[in-house]
Structure 1
């Protein structure tokens, strides 16, 4: 069985206080393994993004245990959590988070800058990452001159460039049409299957199901189903699927 990259046990997370308190996660057990492409699916407000942020060490759980690449996160200070993120985790977000005045290559290289990797070697690595997502020819292009799908691929290249053990992607196809969504999912699936990364994609889009090795459904902060299946079995709306 493939190596466990992230292991979450009995994870709970409460947001807000008093009358505004929300139990966002209510006891989550989940493992992410090297070479496996996992979908975390569920409706808006079900706890998907909160769980991704906890797994990515960006949000501390209220209780439970989280281990990333063999390192327990309990009691680790902010600097230690930042090192875990820097060394092991790549993030992809729906809104791209690209700097408009930097070229595609410069945006990718930012992920190396925080690791104090700079100069020609870092520039070469940034271009190699863009090549992995089919955008090497757009390396010197500003984000405003790229399509939405191209901007998302730049964001994925930025997540890839430091060779993380796990990729966590939050709704990466939400703003994309069918062709661009399919392209993004192929890239993420290749990261798992060809480059041996653990990949978790958070989504409520059933079109991505054909790419998954494993599907986890979350509802009201609880995992209610795991495995593989069709939208009907997962209680999700029907839609034309992206095909691998």
Structure 2
């Protein structure tokens, strides 16, 4: 069985036009494996987020190919790409993207609504996802009543509730303190190892390195190094905000 969930081959991406044209990716090869947490690290402007969006079918490459769960995306139209995202990809962003007037359960359930799952069963799946990230006591809370770490856990529960094949997280610890950042990384590591999902974390935060199975470094749109050596993972941190 092929353990690769997402494969990018010779991917290039050009953004803008004319004088503002930027070659964000310059021939990237990267494969994400099930059961593995990969860190994508590099300086600002190196192409990290662009690559994440290409892998998640939010952006189409200018050239090269991306395959998600065995499905080539090169000839896919917008509707087909949206279907791939719905069926296979969970996104986590630094800014959480929660709706302030919806409860934690309702925010998570949005990921099921767009997949056509509604009603009591969807609500229960959303509560179960919140319990999985340590928020069983916060299912009816609004985002304004949650700390930053709790809001990010709601966002992770939303990404996981539909059981995606790959989770793509863009700077998920960027707005959090050390303790909350460790809690978030523990959840993402467990998602990779215990749930056998591919997890990619885009970050410039060296504190998250111990959680990685693989570290990929990108500079000027090129992968410059891959390594698997990293410090020992910290001991488990309880879910506290």
TM-score (normalised: structure 2): 0.95
Moved more, 77-86 or 221-230: 221-230
Cα deviation, residue 2, structure 1: 6.1
Corresponding residue for 1:151?
151
**Cα distance in structure 1, aligned partners of 2:33 and 2:169:** 15
- Name the SS for the 1:137 alignment partner: coil
1:164 lines up with 2:164 in the alignment: yes
1:46 lines up with 2:19 in the alignment: no
1:175 lines up with 2:175 in the alignment: yes
Unaligned runs of 5+ in 1: 232-240
Cα deviation, residue 230, structure 1: 5.4
Aligned length: 235
Cα deviation, residue 242, structure 1: 7.6
Cα deviation, residue 243, structure 1: 2.4
Are the aligned partners of 2:212 and 2:230 in contact in 1 as well (CA < 8 Å)? no
**Cα distance in structure 2, aligned partners of 1:31 and 1:38:** 10
Offset from partner CA, 1:156-214 (integer Å, 9 cap, x none): 00000000000000000000001000000000000000000000000000110000000
Cα deviation, residue 47, structure 1: 0.3
Are the aligned partners of 1:105 and 1:126 in contact in 2 as well (CA < 8 Å)? yes
Are the aligned partners of 2:90 and 2:168 in contact in 1 as well (CA < 8 Å)? yes
Corresponding residue for 1:243?
234
Give 1:72-221 correspondences, 5 Å limit: 72-221=72-221
Aligned residues: CA RMSD: 1.3
**Cα distance in structure 2, aligned partners of 1:202 and 1:183:** 17
**Cα distance in structure 2, aligned partners of 1:181 and 1:243:** 12
Cα deviation, residue 229, structure 1: 3.9
Cα deviation, residue 3, structure 1: 1.0
Cα deviation, residue 56, structure 1: 0.2
TM-score (normalised: structure 1): 0.94
Cα deviation, residue 136, structure 1: 1.2
Cα deviation, residue 228, structure 1: 2.5
Corresponding residue for 1:15?
15
Are the aligned partners of 2:6 and 2:55 in contact in 1 as well (CA < 8 Å)? yes
Query: Alpha carbons of 1:25 and 1:209: their partners in 2 closer, same or farther (altered >3 Å)?
Result: same
